Structure formats: C-alpha cells, structure tokens
Amino acid sequence: MAFKKVRVTLHSIFNDNTGDDPGNELEIFGRWDANRLKFDPDIAEVVSLEHHNLWDRTGDDAQSVVEGTAFIIESSADIDFFDGEFLQIVGHVSEQDDFGPNDVLGSFERNFNLGDIHDGLVQIPQFNESNQRVNVKMSLRVLETG
C-alpha cells in the first residue's frame, strides 16, 4: 500500500497592487483549507476523511496588508495519505470595502492524487479584482513515503 505523509503550508498573502482602493493597503479576508478525501464506491461520492483549516478571517476581522508587502501566515498541517486518497486545497480571498460591496479577489480549488504530491510550491494563479492583486504562497513537502 502506497503512503505519503505530507506537510501542507500556507506561507503568506502578498499585496501586489492596491488598485483603485483608497490608500496603499488592502484589507483582506478569506479562508484556506487542506482536506484528505477519498471516493467511496459504495455511495458513489467523495467523502472527507480529514479536514485542516489553515487560515480563516471574516470581513469583520480583515487583515490590512500594505502594497508591496506580505501578510505572513505560516500555518501548516501534516496529513497522511494512502492509496486511493487525494489532497484537496481550497481557498478564497476577498477585500473588505467600507463603502459598497466587498471585492471578491478570487477562489482556488485543486485536487492532488497521491502520485501528484511532490515537494514544492503550489501553483496558484494571481487573484485580481479592479486591479487589486494578491498572490497566495503555499507549498507541499513530503515528509515520509512508504
């Protein structure tokens, strides 16, 4: 039976451009999770085996991030994966606005089969709304195999 122990780390959220937001800061909020999932043929559905929240901020608790700087998070989860299981990374980032609706900067969801899990950065596209741009930095590290 194949096995991997994997560390999933959310490192930071970088304010690349404040865009049309007043001032030089973005007030960001959102959520990022890492999940261990498996398809259950008996019920023909994907089931959650393990869930790890890496970051969660509401609009009422938004983090101010100055343009050109990163909000350092460094939140990790160590997860054991076996044959037939997969890693799901899911997250979203929004920007709090005092006037008008909040800006949804983007969301991300990606599934990794056991064979697709390797050391390195997770390729996450830049999130962008009204020229407000943020980059999310995440990585995977294989701690053990068997």
Output the average pLDDT for the chain.
94
54-64 pLDDT tens trace? 999 999 999 99
Q: Is the pLDDT of residue 1 over 70?
A: no
82-99 pLDDT tens trace? 999 999 999 999 999 877
2-52 pLDDT tens trace? 999 999 999 999 999 998 777 899 999 999 999 999 999 999 999 999 999
Domain ranges, ordered by start, for the chain: 3-145
- How many whole angstroms separate alpha carbon 8 and alpha carbon 121? 10
Second-level CATH architecture of 3-145: Sandwich (2.60)
Q: How many CB atoms lie within 10 A of CB 142?
A: 14
pTM of the model as a whole: 0.93
What does the pLDDT read at residue 101? 81
What does the pLDDT read at residue 114? 92
Per DSSP (E only), the strands in 41-131 are: 45-57, 63-66, 70-82, 85-95, 103-113, 120-121, 127-129
